[in-house]
Structure 1
Amino acid sequence: MNEATTLLTLVTVHIVALMSPGPDFALVVQNAGRYGRQTGVMIALGLSLGILLHSLLSLTGASLLIHQHPTLFNVLQGAGGGYLLWLGYGALKATWHHWQQRHMPDSDKAPAAKTRVIANRRQALLKGFTTNILNPKALVFFLSLLSTLVPADMSLSGKTTALGLLWLTSFLWFGLLAWLLTGQRLQRTLQRWTPVIDGICGLLFAVIGSLIWLNLLTA
């Protein structure tokens, strides 16, 4: 298999994996619909940088070392599971708060928030990056993907191109998702459904985080 074929296969498998629902996908849907296009794109950039780092660690062998040391890998899994549980708690808390607000008299309702951003672009970028880099399943996926499809004797330019393509396709996919979700008409619809989206995403984060912790405790 020549380098061009290897790169095409690598990108194809990666795109299929990107389109599968998971924490990264849920994070973009939840935040782009609520906070707007700029926040969604910055989260997409953060996610793609996390993927770039996972890919770099896998190509250099660092991910293999982590995977081969059970204690270190368990610490990573515990941190990732805990972070997803924290995201789930935050999303479910927002859903519960909205439900309480709906059932309160108008005079008792808290005033609407004046800002529609997470806090700033840096926070959105960090949230995306942290969500991806602390996902232990991402570490295992990229380790398996790159060790299987990228031969050890691939040229440096070939490996560099592979890293660039993995980052670019990730950013384009999540960025496109954020862009589509923040069209004016669709965003108005998503904002009406914000409590439902928060609830679904919160459950997804909580279930994945709980499964990671359950696997650690029963291993």
Structure 2
Amino acid sequence: MNFWPEFLVIATAHLLAVASPGPDFAIVLRYAVRFGRKTAIYASLGIGCAILLHVTYSLVGIGVLIKTTPWLFQLLTLLAALYLIYLGQGAIRAKAPALSATAELTAAHSELPRKRSAFIAGFITNGLNPKATLFFLSLFAVVISAQTPLLYKAFYGVYMAVATAAWFTLLSCLLTQSKVRQFLLAKGFWFDRLMGILLLLLAGHLLFSSF
């Protein structure tokens, strides 16, 4: 009886959360412009799969443990900040993009490792995102009723994972449109630096807001 009203609230809250700029957006943006559509889609799939991680610990009660154990949540925040710092400093030190033909040749030789690393980067970035942790803790503790059947909760989780992957996949496609990507590639050296600064700022925000 309450499935559709509850689902609509969850879908709306999730849309607002996933569309807001954050580490996930920064990662997909950088991969899309720097390495192309396929690589960015792999990062998007990694982000979507990480949603299942948040849903799983919320369902089995680990989320409650994190919420009631401050040091554990701070440890998660520290790990997330360190990972963003690692990504940020790598972006800042990135060299200017090569010519188009050279870039395509390089991508062809390193296609599989780059896709795999993009998926892992997307998964870790979202999986260690404290804001995502808080979002799902709040969602399963406040919005989703305790009387909601486990099957419905699992459906909510799968929906949010698929919707997240779809959103960032769409973003990847938009950013890799020929004219858009050519413009961004022309500014690639500065673009990487700006993305690196953004990731470092996000890491600093996590640290100063949690400690």
Write the mapping of 1:49-68 to structure 2, written as runs, cut at 5 A. 49-68=49-68
- CA RMSD in angstroms, aligned pairs only: 2.0
- Please give the alpha-carbon distance, in whole angstroms, between the structure 1 residues aligned to 2:157 and 2:30: 28
Q: Match of 1:156, as an amino acid?
A: L
Q: CA deviation at 1:142?
A: 1.3
- Please give the alpha-carbon distance, in whole angstroms, between the structure 2 residues aligned to 1:181 and 1:52: 26
- Matching residue within 158, 167, 170 for 1:164: 158
Residue by residue, what CA displacement relative to the aligned partner does 1:124-169 show, whole Å, maximum 9, x if unpaired?
A: 1101001111111211111112221111110122112101111111
Q: Which runs of 5+ in 2 are unaligned?
A: none
Instruction: Indicate the residue corresponding to 1:205 in structure 2.
Output: 199
- Please give the alpha-carbon distance, in whole angstroms, between the structure 2 residues aligned to 1:152 and 1:193: 50
- Per the normalisation by structure 2, the TM-score is 0.89
The answer to whether structure 1 residue 48 and structure 2 residue 48 are counterparts is: yes
Instruction: Indicate the residue corresponding to 1:104 in structure 2.
Output: none
- Matching residue within 134, 140, 160 for 2:134: 140
- Please give the alpha-carbon distance, in whole angstroms, between the structure 1 residues aligned to 2:52 and 2:150: 16
The answer to whether structure 1 residue 115 and structure 2 residue 115 are counterparts is: no
Q: Which runs of 5+ in 1 are unaligned?
A: 102-111
Q: CA deviation at 1:211?
A: 2.3
- Please give the alpha-carbon distance, in whole angstroms, between the structure 2 residues aligned to 1:18 and 1:208: 16
For the residue of structure 2 that corresponds to 1:98, the secondary structure is coil
**Number of residue pairs matched?**
204
Residue by residue, what CA displacement relative to the aligned partner does 1:146-197 show, whole Å, maximum 9, x if unpaired?
A: 2211111101221121011111110110010011111222222221122232
Instruction: Indicate the residue corresponding to 1:190 in structure 2.
Output: 184
For the residue of structure 1 that corresponds to 2:182, the secondary structure is helix
Instruction: Indicate the residue corresponding to 2:96 in structure 1.
Output: 98
Bigger radius of gyration, 1 or 2?
Answer: 1
